[in-house]
Amino acid sequence: MPFRLQLDPAQTVHEFAELSGRLVRGSELLRSVKDQNVEVGNTPKKEVFREDKTVLYRYDAVAPRTVPVPVLVVYGLVGRYTMADLQEDRSLIRNLLAQGIDLYVVDWGNPTRTDRWLTIDDYVDDYLASCVEHICEAHGLDQINLLGICEGGVFTVCYTALHPERVKNLITTITPIDFHADQDQGRVDHGFINLWTRSLAKEDVDRLIEANGNLPGELMSFVFSSMTPLASLTKYNLGMLDVMDDEKKLMNFLRMEKWLADRPHHPGEAAKQWLKDLYQDNQLVKNQFVLSGRKVELPNITMPVLNIYAENDHIIPPQTSRALGTLVGTDDYTEIGLPGGHVGVFVSGKSQGVLGKGIVDWLRARS
Amino acid sequence: MINPANWMEQTSQLMRAWSEQQQNFMKAITGGVAGPANAVPPPLAGLESSLQQAQDLWRNAIEKWMAMAPQGLAKAGNVDELLKVMFDPGQWSQAGLGPLDRAIEHLVEGPSYATLWTIDKKILRAQKLRAEWARDLAAWQLLMQGAWSEALKRFLHAVHAADGEPIRTWRELTDLWVDTANEALVETHRTPEFLEAQRRLTRSSTECRLAEREIAEAYCEIHHIPTRTEVDELQRTVYELRRDLRALTKSLKSAKPRAPRKPAS
């Protein structure tokens, strides 16, 4: 006889009735929701520069400037920048704007097979460099502030190491630097991408890109899902059941789903560099990663650096981010560890105030 | 207090309501939320069949739980066997996996021209690779099945644990199952055997896809249609020209005298 099972008929009926009522209310709510109601990344902004598929936007100001030098937000190619602006009350972008930051964001667009040959060299030393030049020219400045997120954090680190004269302050968030440091943590639920990538032979990566022309967004979604298999399996049942009769929570859930579904393909040649040079060979920490014929040397990063990581980040384990502190050439290095996971740092209610305020306070002290 | 005489009728009414609500629920999320096609796919589009599969699984589990309740555990017979049916690894390893499997399907699916060029060596090679892919898929599935079986074993152990909190509701039981199964699956995903099986599956599906591309390209060449390889080469040329053009534009721009800039203070 199972020891812990204690069935109570009355409670079972009550539970079932409550569940049924929730489904009725949830179904009514869902029926009233249309795709266009589930908006992400809708903070007002204007296109100010375009080069091929890369578009630079400037957000509309909502408060008097408190930091004179603009901040350029750089996301990676694995997801979309809208994670930083998921919804009105959970938006790093809105938080920074409200505190008087002059904010730009770079959108890499939706790469297709035609973008197969683009490399990280192109993204860092060409498109990102052009965006920085545009902002410098528009403001008559020599330097701007960079804020990189995840793979975009790696792009900003590389750009800063190659062009330190153009960066006043560098902010990295949930950014992998030492791609092998996941092994130091010994957590079974952290760092699966690192492990999975190391399990591949280099030729496996090459053939995968040859067959698909890119690193398919669907494949990365699958790998992400493998990290939390049951949560992925039950999110439209248990997960959704928990929120479906509460309009606010349901909309939060749908916005997150919309962002997750919007996973672009990663351009093929850039994916080879990302998986082989960085994840497998860990070239960044060895100062061996080469872009445009030049080594990316982290000691060249001598300006102030703020590095923000998520304490329970299962995708970019904290140790892989925190490695930056020992590798850069600056004496002004600050770390902020925030509670929560990889995406939670940007979208959870708890971290909203802390993240934005942490960045703005740090910038103000260095303006 | 529940009147046992009305129990079956109440249950029957609730189950009817449940079925209707499930249908409404499915209609709402597949018809209401999914919007017009655009560059960004609607979040819930295409999930109907996997959702339905998973919903059926939940309903099956809840029905069994409900059936146990009125007669009490003492009369429910072999409860372990009932729990095995509720959380059958054979079903759980399949249900709702559509979104997870889609990536592999995407890699595996490719043009199939097996009815063309039946004597071509390319076909034979593709068939051989397809057989290898099937073998690798079977090996991968075997490991996954093992993980689900291990999950069930641990779950039954947890249900029997003398030091655990009492489980009074279907939701508490399901949460225990989800946590236990998640742990077992994550552990499996990290084993060298699973990583190697996944690597081999990814590689064999990739090789299969490339071999089928060769067949398609042979067909294209005969009919004067550009092949994927030729288009890739063309795109590479366009990419290189664009890159050179950007570099040239920038060097021309930097050669021009520019207005003095102020240092970022």
Active-site choice (A131, A136, A150, A158)? A150
In this predicted structure, what is the pLDDT of residue B45? 46
Q: What is the pLDDT of residues A221-256, one digit of tens each?
A: 888 888 888 888 887 777 788 888 888 888 888 888
Contacts of B182 in chain A (CB under 8 A): 228-231
Burial tier of B81 (Cβ tally within 10 Å: 0-12, 13-18, 19+)? exposed
Higher pLDDT, B108 or B146: B146
pLDDT at A208 over 90: yes
> How many angstroms away from the CA of B215 is the closest CA of chain A?
14
* DSSP per residue, A163-175: -GGGEEEEEEES-
> How many angstroms away from the CA of A284 is the closest CA of chain B?
25
Domain boundaries, chain B: 10-34+47-77, 87-247
- Tokens 């403001």 identify what position? A139
In this predicted structure, what is the pLDDT of residue B28? 47
A150 counts as catalytic: yes
Which chain B residue has its CA at the smallest distance from A109's CA? B39
Contacts of A216 in chain B (CB under 8 A): 103, 106-107
A–B interface: beta-carbon pairs under 8 A: 263
In percent, the amount of chain A with pLDDT more than 70 equals 99
> How many angstroms away from the CA of B120 is the closest CA of chain A?
21
Higher pLDDT, B19 or A234: A234
Beta-strand relationship, A45-51 and A54-59:
antiparallel
Which chain A residue has its CA at the smallest distance from B201's CA? A204
Contacts of B70 in chain A (CB under 8 A): 9
Contacts of B68 in chain A (CB under 8 A): 7
| Residue B27, number of CB atoms within 10 A of its CB | 14
Mark yes or no for CB contact B182/A140 under 8 Å.
no
Number of H helices, E strands in chain A: 17, 14
- Ranges B36-45, B168-177, B243-252, B256-265, most confident: B243-252
User: What 3-state class would DSSP assign to A86?
Assistant: strand
- Answer yes or no: are the C-beta atoms of A24 and B16 closer than 8 Å: no
CA distances from B96 to A127, A318, A349, B51 (A): 40, 32, 29, 6
Q: What is the pLDDT of residues B70-123, one digit of tens each?
A: 666 666 667 777 777 777 766 665 544 454 455 555 545 545 555 444 556 788
Q: How far apart are CA B39 and CA B18, in angstroms?
A: 36
Stretch 66-85 of chain B: residues touching chain A, C-beta under 8 Å: 66, 68-70, 72-74, 79-80, 83
> How many angstroms away from the CA of A288 is the closest CA of chain B?
24
E-strand ranges in chain B read: none
Nearest one of A221, A329, A1 to B79, comparing CA atoms: A1
Stretch 40-59 of chain B: residues touching chain A, C-beta under 8 Å: 40-44, 47, 51, 54-55, 58
Mean pLDDT of chain A, nearest integer: 92
Residue A216 main-chain phi, psi, to 5 deg:
-60, 135
Mark yes or no for CB contact B69/A122 under 8 Å.
no
Q: How far apart are CA A268 and CA A195, in angstroms?
A: 21
Phi-psi region of A123 (alpha: psi -120 to 50; beta: other; left: phi over 0): alpha
Q: Which amino acid is at B102?
A: R
The model carries a pTM of 0.82
Domains and CATH numbers, chain A: 39-190+284-364 (3.40.50.1820)
What b/e string do you get for B54-64 counting C-beta neighbours within 10 Å, with b at 16 or more?
A: bbebbebbbeb
pLDDT at A352 over 60: yes
Mark yes or no for CB contact A30/B25 under 8 Å.
yes
